[in-house]
Amino acid sequence: MTTQLVIFYFFATVLVASALAVITLKNSVHAALSLVLTFFTAAGIWILAEAEFLGLALIVVYVGAVMVLFLFVVMMLDIKPESMREGFIRFLPVGVIVALVMLVEMLSLIGVKALQAQALPPNPALADGSNTAWLGKALYTQFLLPFEIAALILTVALIAAVTLTLRKRSGVRTQKPSEQVQVQRNERLRVVKMASEGKPGESA
């Protein structure tokens, strides 16, 4: 058994175990954290298969950004596990039937395909060097124009988001430091000249 295979089995075991934990753990924060572990091990397997860019992208995008958002949402929503489990027994038969149908479908599809499928030949362009470098090169040469257009699309998304959400609210008390420091004495202090008070009952 080669080292690679040992590492693969290790990652695969952790992956399956953490994936199981995602759907069995009662605490939804723990479930979300298990999902992070699942993504992380999946990324490990991809890197093992020499798809290091995909693996890193999975970590950066899903673990770094998407799951953090997900955790925020889970923590903000007050989800009661008990209420989620209501009707578990009642809907169990339906769930089992759906699961069985899906299992049969997947087996018939994958089972048949797995017998016919042949491993894709490795891309000779990727034989030496990392595929991150290859992807980067392709993005800046062959796909330069689409890459730039994608940047424009992001710009439009930014402009659209600002257009649709930025509004000047009236009646909101916000601090304006630039105006506050320019305050003059006579804006804050008003000297009122009054006639001195006479005896009670004398003045109108």
Partner 1 sequence: MISLTDILTLLPESFLTVAICALLLLDLFLKPGQRSITHYLAIAVLGVTGWLVLQHYGAPRAFGGMFVRDGIADVLKVFLLLTTALVFVYARPYLRDRGLFVGEYYILSLFAVLGMMLLVSAGSMVMIYLGLELLALSSYALVALNRDSPLSSEAAMKYFVLGALASGMLLYGMSMIYGATGTLDLDKIHAAAAATPQRGMLLFGVVFVVVGIAFKFGAAPFHMWLPDVYQGAPTAVTAFIGSAPKLAAFGMAYRMFESGLGSVGPYWQQMLAVLAVMSLAIGNIAAIMQSNLKRMLAYSTISHVGFLLLGLVNGQPAGYAAAMFYAISYALTAAAAFGMILLLSRAGFESEEIDDFKGLNQRAPWYAFLMALVMFSLAGVPPLFGFFGKLLVLKAAVDAGALWLAIVGAVFAIIGIYYYLRVVKVMYFDGADDASALPPVADAPVRTLISINALALLVLGLTWGPLYGWCARALGIAQ
DSSP-derived 3-state class of residue 152:
helix
CB nearer to partner 1: pick between 114 and 164: 164
Of 17 and 150, CB closest to partner 1: 150
> Distance of CA 64 to CAs 18, 56, 69, 81, 132, Å?
18, 10, 9, 26, 19
Binding mask 97-136 for partner 1 (x = CB under 8 A): ----------------------------------------
Spatial separation of the C-alpha atoms in residues 72 and 4, rounded to whole Å: 36
CA 97 – CA 76 distance, rounded (Å): 34
Return the biggest CA–CA distance within the chain.
114
Task: Mark residues 166-185: x for contact with partner 1 by CB under 8 A, - for none.
Answer: -x------------------
Query: Is residue 81 within 8 Å of 26, Cβ to Cβ?
Result: yes
What sign results for the dihedral spanned by CA atoms 104, 107, 19, 55? negative
Is 152 a binder of partner 1 (CB under 8 A)? Answer: yes
Among 116, 163, 174, 196, binds partner 1 (CB under 8 A): 163
Among 2, 3, 83, 141, binds partner 1 (CB under 8 A): 141
Smallest distance, Å, CB 149 to partner 1? 4
Residues forming the site for partner 1 (CB under 8 A)? 141-146, 149-150, 152-153, 155-157, 159-160, 163-164, 167
